[in-house]
């Protein structure tokens, strides 16, 4: 229940946080909402010697319309994303995912940046940002670096972020009028993390799918885009038959490391991925 001792540093700016990061290197961890790091520290699974608080940085909590995309400050808590009118209008997928993270208290404290940087393979945001084709802005001492989301999730709890970088902004393209999206999740009954979470974004032109993006979380060692399902739907009409056929291909990529635990075997997870692909796509179809 009590973390091991550490030194605490309150960063007032991204620059200050970066210089602390470079000073303490591997011995330091960033804390924002604390809902990924602190639970690990309490169980002493993480024992950083230095904790750098970036929640104290002014101006990391925002959701802004930048025309082509919506910019979300990395320090924005889930509750703000859930309730954002702007996101609900222009990129509801993020709000939908945020709404089913943890519980209300966790949504008040936990931040999108913290969740993404932690890269828990069963967290909700990873599927949403993948399907949204987000861009992630990492700030380092040499400036900003924009990481396309498909390069971000490297492995279990591993991202493309350098140890001396801070995730500062998430950019999600706004959806067009003929685009619909949905996030559906089968939660673990205890942790409420996703056993399977499916995010989908579908754009229709002339009654055919012109763009289909499907991503899963909870299923494999990292969240992933499922091109098998996507390809099967492209240029197809969005009918229950086409959806059924495409969804059956979910989580079939041989390269995936499907997770397995007492609650869900590999087979069951793969099966749930198909069910949730279908249900998510059906929800989208009914929204057109």
Residues 131, 226: Cα–Cα separation, whole Å: 10
Spatial CB neighbours of 138, under 8 Å, sequence gap ≥ 6: 144, 145, 146, 147, 160, 161, 162, 165, 166, 167, 168
- Tokens (6 digits) for 222: 């990292």
3-state helix, strand, coil in the chain (%, to 5): 35, 30, 35
Residues 65-124 that bind other proteins (CB under 8 A): 79, 102-106, 108-109
Dihedral angle sign, alpha carbons of residues 269, 271, 277, 278:
negative
Residue with Cβ nearer other proteins (3 or 228): 3
Residues 153-212 that bind other proteins (CB under 8 A): 186, 188-192
- Kindly state whether residue 42 participates in binding other proteins, applying the rule CB under 8 A: yes
> 125 with 112: CB under 8 angstroms?
yes
Least distance to other proteins from the beta carbon of 250, Å? 13
Q: In 3-state terms, what secondary structure has residue 113?
A: helix
Least distance to other proteins from the beta carbon of 49, Å? 11
Residue with Cβ nearer other proteins (34 or 173): 34
Residue with Cβ nearer other proteins (73 or 102): 102
Q: In this chain, which stretch among 33-41, 57-65, 129-137, 227-235 interacts with other proteins, using CB under 8 A? A: 33-41
Q: In 3-state terms, what secondary structure has residue 197?
A: strand
- Kindly state whether residue 39 participates in binding other proteins, applying the rule CB under 8 A: yes
Residues 228-267 that bind other proteins (CB under 8 A): 262-265
Cross-strand bridge partners of residue 213 = 201
Helices within the chain (DSSP H only): 14-24, 37-42, 78-83, 85-90, 92-99, 104-109, 112-118, 125-132, 227-233, 240-247, 266-287
Dump the DSSP string for 252-275.
Answer: --TT--B---SS--HHHHHHHHHH
- Kindly state whether residue 58 participates in binding other proteins, applying the rule CB under 8 A: no
Residue with Cβ nearer other proteins (9 or 171): 9
Work out which of 13, 19, 24, 34 binds other proteins, going by CB under 8 A.
34
Site string for other proteins, 5-24 (x = CB under 8 A): xxxx-x--------------
Residue with Cβ nearer other proteins (101 or 175): 101
Least distance to other proteins from the beta carbon of 20, Å? 14
Residue with Cβ nearer other proteins (54 or 134): 54
Least distance to other proteins from the beta carbon of 55, Å? 6
Q: Using CB under 8 A, list all residues that contact other proteins.
A: 1-8, 10, 31, 34-35, 38-39, 41-44, 51, 53, 55, 79, 102-106, 108-109, 186, 188-192, 262-265, 268, 271-272, 275
């Amino acid at each position: 229940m009590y973390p091991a001792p550490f030194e605490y540093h309150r960063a007032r700016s991204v620059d200050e946080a970066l210089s602390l990061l470079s000073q303490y290197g591997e011995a330091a961890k960033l804390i924002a909402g604390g809902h990924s790091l602190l639970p690990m520290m309490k169980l002493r699974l993480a024992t950083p010697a230095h904790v750098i608080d970036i929640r104290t940085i002014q101006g990391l909590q925002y959701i802004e319309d930048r025309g082509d995309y919506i910019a979300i400050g990395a320090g924005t808590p889930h509750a703000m994303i859930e309730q954002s009118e702007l996101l609900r209008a222009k990129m509801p997928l993020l709000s939908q995912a945020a709404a089913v993270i943890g519980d209300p208290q966790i949504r008040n404290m936990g931040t999108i940046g913290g969740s993404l940087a932690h890269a828990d393979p069963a967290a909700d945001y990873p599927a949403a940002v993948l399907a949204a084709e987000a861009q992630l802005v990492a700030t380092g001492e040499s400036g900003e670096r924009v990481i396309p989301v498909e390069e971000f999730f490297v492995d279990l709890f591993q991202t493309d972020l350098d140890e001396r970088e801070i995730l500062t902004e998430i950019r999600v393209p706004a959806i067009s009028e003929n685009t619909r999206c949905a996030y559906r999740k089968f939660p673990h009954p205890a942790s409420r993390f996703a056993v399977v979470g499916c995010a989908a974004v579908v754009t229709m032109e002339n009654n055919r799918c012109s763009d289909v993006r499907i991503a899963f979380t909870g299923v494999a060692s990292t969240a992933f885009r499922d091109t098998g399902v996507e390809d099967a739907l492209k240029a197809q009409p969005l009918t229950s038959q086409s959806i059924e056929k495409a969804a059956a291909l979910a989580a079939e990529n041989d390269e995936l490391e499907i997770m397995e635990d007492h609650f869900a075997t590999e087979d069951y997870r793969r099966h749930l991925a198909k069910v949730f692909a279908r249900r998510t796509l059906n929800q989208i179809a009914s929204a057109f």
